[in-house]
Amino acid sequence: MQTDGNKSTLLLIDDQPSFPEDFLALTGEEFHVVTAKSGEEALRLLSQTAPDLVLLDLKLGRGIDGLETLKRIKRSNPEVPVIMVTAHASFETAVQAGGLGAAHYFSKAPNLKELRFVIQRHVQQRVVERAYREELQRRYPRILGASTALQKVLQEIATLAPADCSVLITGESGTGKELVAHEIHQRSSRGHRPMLIINCSNLPAPLFESEFFGHEAGAFTGATSRHLGKFEEAEGSTLFLDEIADLPLESQPKILRVLETGDFRRLNGNADLHTDVRIIAATNKNLPEAVKAGGFRKDLLYRLNAVEIYVPALREHREDVPLLARHYLEHFAHRQHKPVPEIPAPLMEIWQSYDWPGNVRELRNLMQNVVLFSKDGQIDATRLRIDVPEPRTISEEFQRLFHLPYEEAKNKLLGHFQDEYFHAVLERCEGNVTRAAEFAQVNRATIYRLLQHEKDDEARSQ
């Protein structure tokens, strides 16, 4: 953080007064320096605000020691650089500190000018990183995640937003599909107008045409005046069709016509109207399977699915859990005017191992409860009810591999994995080998060999 006058904030953790006094004498008013005399006090301060840099004594006289404090700081505030200082420097402790994420390691009798230079360098780097993060937040204010999976989604958003084509967003409930739709819309040429949303699962079939296309007075009992439908209201903007798989089958041809021609007619109207609307649709269901089952039109799927963005489940990018948890804790703490609760490292590890069946929505709700029932920055453990799955038992089929030589067992297991993996990828890509190879990041020949191998096995078995 930066205080008034754009001073960077340093947190200095030392149980003895001499080093802080020397440091303050050296730096004068260059930095805003906050001091803590123990690891516990420092962690409480860090739960309320994030400094630009931490100076940490290795040997703290009471409570948790410097290395344990370093470990906890890097878990709760991984982006904050920590410089270790000690009166008992050794190669072993330097290696330990570096392994735990310390940015630098100094003797307590250092060249203070050199220490000041190192601090200035790290603080300047923090300023650059903060500006970069603020730019990312300006461009992607709603979607958080540093994982490869989330970065892929952000790249796809940046590519598709200006393209003005239809987009189908897929993924489980609670993953943030509507947020992705908002980002695509806001970064498009239509972003100056509000995006309109229709939840197809909440739309009774009798109201479908009136909701989408509007109606004239007298169209049905109670229709005393003209009503504009969403296609008219969204003129020049984006219409987001959430839960598109639940659209009534008998209504789908009418939506298809608008997608193909841009034309529609109000209920009880006598003239065709034209609309300029971008369609973004979302579903948590498998639309190709719905087509096979007769519940969804193939031609409508092709129209909607000009481009697909898959939003991964939270269990597919667990490394983002600490970042998301911290974000929501800060968000709800700010709204409730409460200190941000400190999350113990073992609890964060449990959260990262949890499958989150409700995805980001479930995590968000849990963080809201954590803040609501926290007291003085301390969490209420009785409010942290999540069902961590029991450890998996080894299947009988897998146990049989233990009776085989290593190479034979490994080859059988690898072959089974390849079969299952590529079948799943091919199904997701609707049998398109080129798309499947691109998704799996392998040559098409690899998938063709697998398919040919299966054909040969079938021929031999006949």
2 backbone dihedrals φ, ψ, rounded to 5°: -120, 135
Instruction: Report residue 297's pLDDT band, with 50, 70 and 90 as the boundaries.
Output: very high
What does the alpha-carbon distance between residue 231 and residue 164 come to, in Å, rounded to a whole number?
A: 16
More confident residue, 395 or 15: 15
What's the confidence (pLDDT) of residue 392?
A: 46
Helices (H), 140-286: 148-160, 177-186, 208-213, 230-233, 252-261
Give the chain's mean pLDDT: 83
Instruction: Report residue 243's pLDDT band, with 50, 70 and 90 as the boundaries.
Output: very high
- Are the CB atoms for 348 and 382 separated by under 8 Å? no
What's the confidence (pLDDT) of residue 135?
A: 60
For residues 44, 77, 79, 49, the Cα torsion angle rounded to the nearest 10 degrees is: -40
pLDDT at 141 over 60: no
Q: Which of 117-121, 123-127, 137-141, 204-208 has the highest mean pLDDT?
A: 117-121
Residues forming beta bridges with residue 307, ordered by sequence position: 167
Q: Of the given ranges (69-78, 111-120, 305-314, 377-386), which has the lowest mean pLDDT?
A: 377-386
Containing 397, the helix (H) or strand (E) segment is helix 396-400
Specify the pTM: 0.57
What does the alpha-carbon distance between residue 187 and residue 18 come to, in Å, rounded to a whole number?
A: 54
Q: What is the mean pLDDT of residues 325-335?
A: 90
